Amino acid sequence: MDRIPKTSRSEKQGEGDRTLLIVEDEHLMLRLLEKFFSRHGYHVLKAADGEEAIEVYRSCMRRIDAVLLDMRLPKGTGEEVFRAMKDENPAVKVVMASGFLEPQVRIEMALAGAKRFVNKPYNLDELLGVFQSVIADE
């Protein structure tokens, strides 16, 4: 597998051209997040299960700035998806989302490189701040 290096901000498109991959199996939540982030100037890619998330990430990883990854998904757990993304690109910026996450799993994911953890239900303004912070930390 080819690994891609982390790209610098100068290699990216303009400031308003940030791209998020949102991985969420709840259709209404996925649409809400897509609309919210689009209104704030982000391009949004979507996936509704683990297999689709890995497929979208592999095909678009060069333009994805960060990923919102639900921990509970059909066709693969959030942990499996996260590890597959890390195998493709060790510099991937993933924000893990869950209604409840066991402390041990949170520690393991942080040690593996997860950037942040957010609780569900989402506070959209806080979520926006999380992504602004994660993306700015290049």
- Whole-prediction pTM: 0.86
Of 112, 99, 13, 29, the closest CA to residue 64 belongs to 13
CB atoms within 10 A of CB 56: 18
Name the packing angle between helices 103-112 and 78-88 (round to 10°).
Answer: 10
pLDDT at 101: 78
**Any domain includes 80:** yes
Q: How far apart are CA 108 and CA 98, in angstroms?
A: 15
**Any domain includes 59:** yes
Whichever domain contains 28, its CATH number is: 3.40.50.2300
SS3 assignment, position 19: strand
**Any domain includes 88:** yes
pLDDT at 138: 63
Over residues 24-49, the mean pLDDT reads: 97
Contact at 8 Å (CB) between 103 and 16?
no
Contact at 8 Å (CB) between 36 and 28?
no
**Any domain includes 1:** no
Sequential DSSP letters for 90-128: TT--EEEEES---HHHHHHHHHHT--EEEESSP-HHHHH
Domain of residue 65, residue span: 16-136
Q: How far apart are CA 103 and CA 81, in angstroms?
A: 19
pLDDT digits (tens, 9 = 90+) for 76-124: 999 999 999 999 999 999 999 998 878 888 899 999 999 999 999 999 9
Domain count, the chain: 1
**Any domain includes 10:** no
